[in-house]
Amino acid sequence: MQAETTTRFQPRRRTAKGQARPRYLQPDDIDKVMLMLVNLLSEVSALRDRLDTAEAVVELGGQPTSAAIEAYELTPERHLARESNRQAMLARVLRPITEERDATAGDEA
Amino acid sequence: MFQTPHAMLPSMNHDEAARADFCASLRKKFTTDLFPGTRTLYSKALLPAFEAKHGRKPKNAKEAAQLLQSSFYYRGMNAVGRAAQELVWDTVGESVERQLPELVERAKPKPGALGTVRSNPDLPIPRYIDAVDIHVMPGNFHTELGEDDVFAGALYDRGVHVFAFGGLGDQNEALGVAMAAWVRENYPDFKPHRILDVGCGPGFTTVPWKQAFPDAEVHGIDVGGPQVRYAHGRAESLGVGVHFSQQDGTATDFPDGHFDLVTSMLVTHECPVPVIKGLFKEAHRLLARGGITLHDGGTPAHDPFESHMTSWFGNNANEPFSAQFRMLDYKAALVEAGFAEESYFRGEREPVYLKGQLPPITLVGAVKD
């Protein structure tokens, strides 16, 4: 969405003149990109858990400081809730892979 | 869920634990959904299309593999499985490495210990171990990062728990417990004086033998120094007395007839056939009359597709010897090692956390006359 502006300036150019952008990746590189994607997902998941811990600390009446986050003891209930969140996240992220199978499993789903 | 803490288990800070939990969830997704989903896709779509085109089923594992490779589901599933395999060790390894100096100190033998540990820095590491990092675990089971190192032991103890998403139990004990229960059930009068667990790793397959047979003297050996040193510290902190030593299971320094039970778990499928035969031969030498040897054995798959499916770890996780392991004639190998043909037996145990995903694991063994 472009904000409505009444301005006498042209919008700035978003690409640079000169040499075309070099081609970096080669077809065989895609496997490594996939590995990086999964590694990144681990970081996203850890970030989400850290936020969940901060929420838990606050719910217990504390301040979400680094020390309080480190000291927090995960309860079995919260562990299970996180696990089901992670499975839901994996299902969403991996959908392009699983859709081929899920299309064949219609009568079982 | 949570691994039982003991003195040797590396702790994890908040984010290390969160990443490990992610790895466990990813492994669970792969093992219980993506991998078995291949069967659904194959039977409902890929196979019918192949049959419509060729008027027959794939005739061998290679043809089944080619058919699977035509599917993005299969290719993507494999990439995710491989990513998980690499990520587990990297995630756990970072946490273990951070605490290594403390872990090394904690593992050292203390006065009043229940068991013992012997390292052997001069032990030649066999090429089949040195050349391949099994499970894509960098450094494998034996690499020494420094004096009195325990890194690889801690990595495997923590890593297996994450890898099996807790499915081997809070102390990774389920395999040992299942194997000991199998012996108790099938040999109710068996009262071993000495038990040897070959390729003991961090000792989670060894400790259950001592718990099942408290009166027995239990030994665990491994070519990896970091394994036996870690295993010693771990067993002591669990209050179980076991004798660990760094040795090659094909040529130990124990006297003839020293043991009543010589066993291994999750070892034979990582060994080339000549090594498996060597383990059997040494077991025969080490056993007293009436003693039992018991190991994981392989069973060839009967169907090209299943044959390919059971090769997943061989193809994707550095288990180069597992295919030959499945094809070996175990009866002949045990007879060749000196056991009487009629003493050969086969059994089965549940594949623990892979129950429903894989057929039961075959056990093979023999009794020395």
> For the segment A48-85, what is each residue's pLDDT rounded down to a tens digit?
999 999 999 999 999 999 999 999 999 999 999 999 99
Does residue A109 carry a pLDDT above 50? no
Q: Which of B11, B68, B80 to mutate to test the interface with A (most CBs of A within 10 A)?
A: B80
In contact, B289 and B343? CB cutoff 8 Å: no
Identify the residue among B3, B22, B43 best suited for mutation to test binding to A, counting A beta carbons within 10 A and taking the highest: B22
Distance CA B326, CA B337 (A): 19
- Chain A residues within an 8 Å CB radius of B23: 42
Tell if the CB–CB gap between A83 and B21 is shorter than 8 Å: yes
Which residues from chain A sit within 8 angstroms of residue B14, using beta carbons? 49-50, 53, 69-70, 72
Q: Which residues of B213-234 are buried (b: 16+ CB within 10 A; e: fewer)?
A: beebbbbbbbbbbbbbbbbbbb
- Predicted pLDDT at B16: 97
> How does pLDDT run across B237-293, given as a tens digit for each residue?
999 999 999 999 999 999 999 999 999 999 999 999 999 999 999 999 999 999 999
Residue in B277, B266, B207 with CA at minimum distance from that of residue B238:
B207
Q: What is the pTM of this model?
A: 0.94
Cα(A86)–Cα(B205) distance, integer angstroms = 31
Of chain A, the percentage scoring pLDDT greater than 90 comes to: 89
Higher pLDDT, A8 or B351: A8
Contacts of B71 in chain A (CB under 8 A): 100
Sequence-distant (6+) residues with CB within 8 A of A58 are A64
Q: Which residues contact A20 (CB under 8 A, 6 or more apart)?
A: none
CA atoms within 13 A on the CB side of A73: 1
B17 to each of A49, B13, B94, how far by Cα in Å?
10, 6, 11
- Residue B302 confidence (pLDDT): 83
Query: B256-270: b or e for each residue (b if 16 or more CB lie within 10 Å)?
Result: eebbbbbbbbebbbb
Domain ranges of chain A: 27-108
Instruction: Enumerate the residues of chain B whose CB falls inside 8 A of the CB of residue A86.
Output: 21-22, 25
Name the B residues in 74-93 with CB < 8 Å from any A CB. Answer: 76-77, 79-80, 82-84, 86-87, 91
Q: Which residues of B touch A83 (CB under 8 A)?
A: 21, 25
Q: Write the single-letter amino acid at B224.
A: G
pLDDT at B352: 78
B73 and A98 within 8 Å at the Cβ level: the answer is: yes
What is the pLDDT, as a whole number, of residue A107?
A: 53
Instruction: Mark yes or no for CB contact A94/B80 under 8 Å.
Output: yes
C-beta atoms of A38 and B28 within 8 A: no
Instruction: Tell which residue, B19, B7, B40, B225, has the closest CA to residue B110.
Output: B7
CB contact under 8 A, A79 and B76: no
Contact A69/B at CB under 8 A? yes
Across the interface, whether the CB atoms of A42 and B21 are under 8 A apart is answered: no
Q: B350 and chain A: CB distance < 8 Å anywhere?
A: no
Looking at residues B109-128, what average pLDDT do you find? Answer: 97
Q: What amino acid is encoded at B357 in this protein?
A: Q
DSSP code, position B223: S
Pick from A45, A49, A101: CB nearest B41 = A101
Nearest-Cα distance to chain A for B229, in Å, is 30
Residue of chain B nearest A54, judged by CA positions = B14
Mark yes or no for CB contact A38/B84 under 8 Å.
yes
Given an 8 Å threshold on Cβ–Cβ distance, is B73 in contact with A50? Answer: no
Q: How far is CA B9 from CA A2, A25, A40, in A?
A: 55, 41, 26
pLDDT at A3 (0 to 100): 59
pLDDT value of residue B1: 52
Interface contact A70, partner B, CB < 8 A: yes
Task: Kindly report the average pLDDT of chain B as a whole number.
Answer: 95
pLDDT of A79-105, one tens digit each?
999 999 999 999 999 999 999 999 996
Q: Out of B270-279, B319-328, B342-351, B354-363, pick the least confident.
A: B354-363
**A95 contacts chain B (CB < 8 A):** no
> Which two structure tokens, joined as six digits, stand for A96?
């392009």
pLDDT, residue A5, reads 60
Per residue in B176-218, pLDDT (tens digit) is: 999 999 999 999 999 999 999 999 999 999 999 999 999 999 9
Q: Which residues of A touch B80 (CB under 8 A)?
A: 34, 38, 94, 97
